Amino acid sequence: MSGEKLWGGKPFHGLGYDFDPQWLLTPEQKDLQAKLIELCHTTLRPNAIVSDRERIFPRKNMEALASLGLLALHVPKKYGGLAQNHVCVTMVLETIGRYGCSSTALVYSMHLLATAALLYRAEGNAEIEKVLRRLNKDVFIGTSSYSDPETGSHFWYPMASRAEKIDGGWKVNKRSSWTTSGGYADFYVAQTSSPDFKGNFADLSVFLLYKDEIRATTSSWDAMGMQGNQSGPITIDNVEIPHDRMIGPPGDGAKSNDEAVDPLGLLMFSGTYNGISLGAIDIAKMQTTRKVHADVGMRVCDYPTIQDYVGECVMDTQASRLYAFSIARLMDDVTENGDWSLHERDPNAMPRAQYLPWLWQTKFIACKNVYNVVDKMLQACGGTGYKKDLGLERLVRDGKAGWVMGPTNEVLRQFIGKYALLGMESLDYWNQQVNERVLNNELKKLDAAGKRRLMESLAADLQQQAAQ
Ligand X SMILES: Cc1cc2nc3c(=O)[nH]c(=O)nc-3n(C[C@H](O)[C@H](O)[C@H](O)COP(=O)(O)OP(=O)(O)OC[C@H]3O[C@@H](n4cnc5c(N)ncnc54)[C@H](O)[C@@H]3O)c2cc1C
Using CB under 6 A as the binding rule, the residues of this chain from 70 to 129 that contact ligand X are: 110
Work out which of 178, 187, 325, 364 binds ligand X, going by CB under 6 A: 178
Number of H helices, E strands in the chain: 16, 11
For ligand X, the closer of residues 41 and 174 by Cβ is 174
Residue 86 CB, nearest approach to ligand X (Å): 20
Residue 412 CB, nearest approach to ligand X (Å): 9
| 292 sits in which H/E element | strand 292-293
- Exposed, middle or buried: residue 57 (CB in 10 Å: 0-12, 13-18, 19+)? buried
Should residue 229 be labelled a site residue for ligand X when binding is judged by CB under 6 A? yes
169, 170, 111: which is closest to 161 by C-alpha? Answer: 170
Q: By CB under 6 A, which span of 4-12, 120-128, 178-186, 378-386 interacts with ligand X?
A: 178-186
Residue 58 CB, nearest approach to ligand X (Å): 13
Should residue 404 be labelled a site residue for ligand X when binding is judged by CB under 6 A? yes
The rounded distance, in Å, linking the Cα atoms of 144 and 112 is: 9
For ligand X, the closer of residues 178 and 184 by Cβ is 178
Which residue is at the shortest CB distance from ligand X? 152
Should residue 406 be labelled a site residue for ligand X when binding is judged by CB under 6 A? yes
In whole angstroms, how far apart are CA 155 and each of 120, 183, 412? 20, 19, 13
Q: By CB under 6 A, which span of 201-209, 247-255, 342-350, 407-415 interacts with ligand X?
A: 407-415
* Residue 235 β-bridge partners: 175, 215
Should residue 226 be labelled a site residue for ligand X when binding is judged by CB under 6 A? yes
Work out which of 43, 180, 361, 362 binds ligand X, going by CB under 6 A: 180
Q: Assign residue 154 a region: left if phi > 0, alpha if psi is -120 to 50, beta otherwise?
A: beta
Look at strands 6-7 and 10-11 and give their pairing. Answer: antiparallel
The rounded distance, in Å, linking the Cα atoms of 331 and 348 is: 17
98, 115, 97: which is closest to 106 by C-alpha? Answer: 97
End-to-end Cα spacing for the chain: 69
Residue 397 CB, nearest approach to ligand X (Å): 11
* Residue 179 β-bridge partners: 232
Residue 414 CB, nearest approach to ligand X (Å): 5
Residue 109 CB, nearest approach to ligand X (Å): 9
Residue 337 CB, nearest approach to ligand X (Å): 28
Q: By CB under 6 A, which span of 90-98, 123-131, 141-149, 320-328 interacts with ligand X?
A: 141-149
For ligand X, the closer of residues 291 and 397 by Cβ is 397
Should residue 428 be labelled a site residue for ligand X when binding is judged by CB under 6 A? no
The rounded distance, in Å, linking the Cα atoms of 297 and 400 is: 36
Asked whether the beta carbons of 89 and 335 are under 8 A apart, the reply is no
The rounded distance, in Å, linking the Cα atoms of 376 and 193 is: 44
Q: By CB under 6 A, which span of 119-127, 137-145, 206-214, 321-329 interacts with ligand X?
A: 137-145
Should residue 48 be labelled a site residue for ligand X when binding is judged by CB under 6 A? no
Should residue 227 be labelled a site residue for ligand X when binding is judged by CB under 6 A? no
Residue 413 CB, nearest approach to ligand X (Å): 9
SS3 per residue for 327-350: HHHHHHHHCCCCCCHHHHHCCCCC
For ligand X, the closer of residues 29 and 409 by Cβ is 409
Q: How many residues bind ligand X (CB under 6 A)?
A: 23
Work out which of 2, 153, 219, 384 binds ligand X, going by CB under 6 A: 153
Binding site for ligand X (CB under 6 A): 110, 143-147, 152-153, 155, 178-180, 226, 229, 231, 401, 404-406, 408, 410-411, 414
